[in-house]
A and B are shown apart, each in its own frame.
Chain A
Amino acid sequence: MTVNKAAKSTETQQGHIAQGGRSWRSVLLIYRREMIDQLRDRRTLFTIAILPILLYPLLGMVLLQISQFKRESPISVCVLGRDHLDVPTPLFEGDGFAEGLDEGGGRIELVHYDWGTIKLGRDVREETTTWIQDGRFDVVLVIPPEFLDHSARTTQDVANLQLYYDVTSDESRVARGRIISLLNQWQSRWVRGDLAETGIEESVLNPFRLDEVDVAPQQSKSAAFWSKMLPFIMLVWALTGAFYPAIDLVAGEKERGTLETLLCSPASRAEIVWGKLCAVTTASIATAVLNCCSMLVTSSLIFRQISLGSGAAIGSPPLVPMLWLLIALIPLSFLFSAVALAAAALAKSSKEGQYYLMPLMMVTLPLVLIPMLPGIELSAGTSLIPVTGMFLLVRSLVEGDYLVAALHVPMVLGVTALCLWLAMNWAKRQFEDEAVLFGSQEPFDLRLWLTRAWKRRGAVPSRSVSYFCGSVILVALFFAKLSGGEMPEDGYGFAKMVLYPQLTFILAPSLAFAILCSRKPLRALKIRGVSFRTLAVSLSLGVLFHPTYLMLGELVSTLYPVSEQAVEAMKPIAEQISQLPWGLVIVLIAVTPAICEELAFRGLIFSGLERNGQHWGAIIITALLFGASHGVLQQSICATVMGLVLGWVAFRTRSVLPGMLFHFANNAMSASLERLANGALPGVELLFTRNETTLHYQTWWVVLSIGLSLLAFWFLGRTHRAEESDVERREAGVVVTSVDNDQERSESLAITEG
């Protein structure tokens, strides 16, 4: 009976749920469970709550003790040769140093010997060295016999006082500092005495005095320190606080086998991700806030206790602006949590998950560190960098620059929202990916893996080969850049500078990988004949797209201005280019990169990445790699955009050749712009205009070229469809027998979808 009733009630719920879509009730239930789970976990509780509460007071205690030690521990000083001290201003009074020479601190244990009373079996230097190394004295002051000679004191090195100390011993360094300041005092007292004797006024020594006045109000002075320090600490802790719970909530659940229990409950994958994400975010925020609070309380107490010189400038932070930091922490914690959750989903066990913390930190830390660099301020350029932008926004809020902050709020929020959305989707995709959730773990055997990889290599390289090739290229270029750096002196040197990296670090690895890791190297490099019309359109597209590309370059250099140093450094190269014969410049700047870079990025790397129909992923990733292969940031951004366009062309035409022509034409235009404008060709002024130093296309041509480019893009997109139906017709008649037909299959699938 009960069975029937329950069945009926589930029936009615079903209708309700089917209409309702995502139920926040499930999200809330999962959130609540995860929170209870985390609070019952001793490890999590320790890192989130106990550690921060204890860490800073403990650190503070140690700091206090060190400073106490520095102040109060007595230093032991030995003075050797007191009998050589026959001077008008006394260094000693009785058994101690003269009154007023020592500026305070701990006690000084002073032992002094006359030169004669101590039997020096050995050299003075050797003897004192053993005294210090044995720990008998912290420092030894030696007054040589020559010091007695008034005229030798200032002229001969043998008459110098000698202070022996040990830089590796803290006590010895502290003692040295005190003795030096004591000797300085003594010296100036001596000088003053001499001046008084000769009747010269003391003002000769100090003809004027200087007062420094800091106009910054006390509040913003402490804000300046805290606005740099606090966000940094908070973000590092927000990431750490997100990471460990994320591992426990995903990898840990996989390991304990409870993830499948959750997956076959009525909660949808999205609800599970949301529930877990909220729990991780809560942990992240709690960790960050607790750490900051604990640090603030402790540090304000400590700074009051010990004035560390700068102590007055630090003070306690202004509390109200700190609220801005709390508000900014929420989206950033969400972002970190989503990234941590997705990364943790990749791991099969908590142990594997721990390994992902380092890479994640390496990616995030620079974003947190950039704002700490001197001179980095909130601007259009920096506001576009994720995390950094938010960080700088908070800083300007804390410092009270509300106008600057308000101006950049939309951009910072937009970038943060975009990153958040991407990270969320990544996390969600991890939870929908069966291979990620149920992938098995196999022991790794290098030899077995290599033989398998060789035997089972496909017609095109695998995704991992593509990634590996991309990394090899980037790393090789990076080291080449580090080791090189000498400016070429002539045309030959310039040619070498361009050709060497292109051929050795870009072309050679790609060819090697194509031959070693695929059965059909030509296909792996995407070398495939296309119609003459497509080639012609691609070539002209390079010319037509150039004005747009130039505008992009200008936009980028206004957003992220090139430093004057870099401009200066580029000048000799530009001069050399202008002196070389035009044909050679075209070969070096247009032909070579078009062949090498296209074969690498749109050839080998692209063909591996676009397996299983993931064309857009391939376009984006190759564009990013292409961008990264250009050393300077401004160039990288432009190259990334260009990479997207070239990737799209490679995808549409399914060949590397059109992209090569496009790339060639574009670079050729860049290289010969100056020559064209300066040349004696008729009608040049119709096409170009010059303002100040830079050369621009005339507006009419910019507008027209954009229109024509769009037309060319449309043509390339259309060719693709026409050629695909050709392939379809051909494939329909052929029974596929090859084992490596995954490419064909995915392509024909794409056709039926299209």
Chain B
Amino acid sequence: MIEVTNLSKVYPDSSRGDFLAVDGVSFQVRAGEIFGLLGANGAGKTTVLRILSTVLTPSSGHAAIAGHDVVTQPELVRRNIGFVSNNTAIYDRMTALEMVQHFGQLHGMSGVKVRDRCDELFDQLRMQDFRDVLGANMSTGMQQKVSIARALVHDPPVLIFDEATLGLDVLVARNLLTIIRDLRTAGKCLIFSTHIMSEVERLCDRIAIMHQGRILDTGTLSELKQRHAEEDFEELFFSLLSEHERGEVKARQSMGASG
């Protein structure tokens, strides 16, 4: 469902020189699978996911969702994804119902269909009791639910969650993880990015560890543990990172020597 090949993104910055945020990233995600993107802040996760949601364009490489290229067919890509991130807020001056209905209509759904779908989603996410509350008056948990309902309204085959649990309390975060698991059961293709390791351990079928714009390693949790001979996932993560840092330093030294 999601195909990413050799994706790179350069941010031009006149004061600091160009910044390579994503550097040759490749991975695939199939339907019915949760793919975890794990990395510290600034590792490039958000950039990758923004490219997948067609909000940013890649500097090089390709990415396709449900067979549609993100650069040449951005509109079709957006019809096939639901994108939830902590940068995709909800409108302050709209009620929960209006917000979800508006995006359903933007997806080309007819009035009756949107209403039925909203009813279904609001029941499913237990949102009926605040359907007429304005966004500005909602708690963070309510807002997150509205965001999820907004992303699910057109029933997309691919769902992207970018740091979706950031700022949520334990209860709400747990609730969100349950929703994501349910979506996997429904056969959706999911990408879940986070910097919290326990979430990845509990939720994801396959994991990619990102650092400084690169994927250091990909695989299932057991594969990774086996490959690096490390049972503790947190230790595994740090040893991967420090290994990468050492490699970088060496490469720079050898560059300096030859140059």
> Are A and B bound to each other?
yes
User: Which residues of A are in contact with B by a Cβ distance under 8 Å?
Assistant: 2-3, 6-7, 10, 13-14, 17-18, 23, 25-26, 29-30, 33, 36-37, 40-41, 256-258, 260-261, 263-268, 434-435, 437-438, 449, 452-453, 456, 462, 464, 737
B166 contacts A by Cβ under 8 Å: no
| A14 and B79 within 8 A (CB) | yes
Beta-carbon contact of B87 and A257 below 8 Å: yes
Query: Given A10-B79, A10-B154, A449-B15, does the pair A264, B102 have CB atoms closer than 8 Å?
Result: no
Residues of B contacting A30 with CB < 8 Å?
A: 106
Contact of A261 among B17, B73, B150, B154 (CB under 8 A): B150
Question: CA separation between A589 and B125, bound complex, in Å?
Answer: 79
List 13 extra interface pairs beyond A6-B154, A7-B157, A456-B15, CB under 8 A.
A7-B155, A26-B106, A29-B105, A33-B94, A36-B94, A37-B93, A258-B90, A264-B83, A266-B75, A266-B78, A434-B57, A438-B56, A737-B259
Best-buried of A33, A437, A464 by chain B (most CB within 10 Å): A33
The interface centre, meaning the residue of A36, A263, A265 with most chain B CB atoms within 10 A of its CB, is A265
Given A261-B89, A263-B55: A17 in contact with B79 (beta carbons within 8 A): yes
Chain A contacts for B24, CB-based, 8 A: none
In angstroms, Cα B153 to Cα A265, docked, is 11
Picked from B11, B17, B105, the residue with its CB within 8 Å of the CB of A456 is B17
21 contacts between A and B (CB under 8 A): A2-B155, A3-B157, A10-B79, A13-B108, A18-B75, A26-B106, A30-B106, A257-B87, A257-B89, A260-B55, A260-B85, A261-B90, A263-B53, A263-B55, A265-B78, A265-B103, A266-B79, A438-B50, A449-B15, A452-B15, A452-B16
Q: Scan residues 93-130 of chain B and give those whose CB is less than 8 A from a CB of chain A.
A: 93-94, 98, 102-103, 105-108
The interface residues of chain B lying within 8 Å CB-to-CB of A14 are 76, 79
- Is there contact, CB below 8 Å, between A40 and B76? no
Contacts of B12 in A (CB 8 A): 435
User: Is B88's CB under 8 angstroms from A260's CB?
Assistant: yes
Identify which of B57, B76, B91 contacts A18 (C-beta below 8 A). Answer: B76
Q: Shortest CB–CB separation between residue B216 and chain A, in angstroms?
A: 25
Does any Cβ of A come within 8 Å of B165's Cβ? Answer: no
Given A37-B93, A452-B15: A266 in contact with B107 (beta carbons within 8 A): yes
Contact of B106 with A41 in the complex, beta carbons under 8 Å: no
Alpha-carbon gap, A41 to B80, bound state (A): 33
* Contact assessment for B155 and A6 in the assembled complex, using a CB-CB cutoff below 8 Å: yes
B54 interfacial by beta-carbon distance below 8 Å: yes
Q: Which of B1-28 contact A (CB under 8 A)?
A: 11-12, 14-17
Contacts of A25 in B (CB 8 A): 108
- Residue ID in chain B nearest A737 by CB atoms: B259
> Chain B, interface size: which category?
35 or more
Contacts of B73 in A (CB 8 A): 18
* Chain B: minimal CB distance from A445 (Å): 11
* Bound CA–CA A25/B259 (angstroms): 59
Distance between Cα atoms of A264 and B106 in the complex (Å): 11
Q: A268 touching B154 by the CB < 8 A rule?
A: no
Judge whether B155 and A3 touch: CB under 8 Å. yes
B81 within 8 A of A: yes
- B179 proximal to A (CB < 8 A): no
Across the interface, name the chain B residue whose C-beta is closest to A10.
B79
Q: Are A256 and B94 in contact (CB under 8 A)?
A: no
Q: Judging by beta carbons under 8 Å apart, are A37 and B78 in contact?
A: no
Within 8 Å CB of A2, what residues of B? 155
Query: B196 on the interface (CB 8 Å rule)?
Result: no
A3-B186, A266-B79, A435-B12 known; A258 vs B106 contact (CB < 8 Å)? no
By a CB distance below 8 angstroms, the chain A residues around B87 are: 257, 260
Which residues of B231-246 are within 8 A (CB) of A? none
Separation of A299 and B12 alpha carbons in the complex (Å): 56
What residues on A are CB-neighbors of B103 within 8 Å?
Answer: 265
- Min Cβ gap A25→B in Å is 7
A3 and B124 alpha carbons, distance in the complex (Å): 14
Complex contacts, B102 vs chain A, CB 8 Å: 29, 33
A256 touches B92 (CB 8 A): yes
Q: How far is the CA of A260 from the CA of B46 in the complex (A)?
A: 12
A258 to B108, CA, bound (A): 20
C-alpha gap A2/B124 in the complex (Å): 14
Enumerate chain A residues within 8 angstroms of B91, measured Cβ to Cβ: 33, 37, 256, 258
Which residues from chain B contact A263 at a C-beta distance below 8 Å? Answer: 53, 55
Most chain B Cβ neighbours within 10 Å, of A7, A263, A266, A435: A266
Q: When chains A and B are docked, how far (Å) is the Cα of A546 from the Cα of B35?
A: 69
Cβ A264 vs Cβ B78 within 8 A: yes
B187 within 8 A of A: yes
Q: How far is the CB of B252 from chain A (nearest CB, A)?
A: 15
- Whole-angstrom distance between the alpha carbons of A37 and B75 in the complex? 25
Q: Inside 8 A of A449's CB, which chain B residues have their CB?
A: 15
B148 shortest CB reach to chain A, Å:
12
Distance in angstroms from B119 CB to nearest chain A CB is 13
Chain B residues closer than 8 Å to A438, beta-carbon distance: 50, 55-56
Is the pair B93, A17 in contact by a Cβ cutoff of 8 Å? no
- Quote the shortest CB–CB distance from B127 to chain A (angstroms): 17
CA A542 – CA B259 in complex, angstroms? 48
Cα–Cα distance between A3 and B187 once the two chains are bound (Å): 8
Question: What are the residues of chain B within 8 A of A261 when measuring CB–CB?
Answer: 88-90, 147, 150
Q: In the docked arrangement, what's the CA distance between A265 and B109, Å?
A: 13
Chain B hits for A257, CB < 8 A: 86-89
Q: Give the docked Cα–Cα distance between A737 and B258 (Å).
A: 12
Q: Give min CB distance, A269 to chain B, whole Å.
A: 9
Residues of chain B with a CB closer than 8 A to A37's CB = 91, 93-94
CA distance in complex: A452, B15 (Å): 7
Complex: chain A residue closest to B82, CB-CB? A264
**Is A266 in contact with B108, judged by CB distance below 8 angstroms?**
yes
Q: Which residues of A contact B157 (CB under 8 A)?
A: 3, 7
**B94 near A10 (CB under 8 angstroms)?**
no
Name which residue of chain B comes closest to A611, CB basis.
Answer: B14
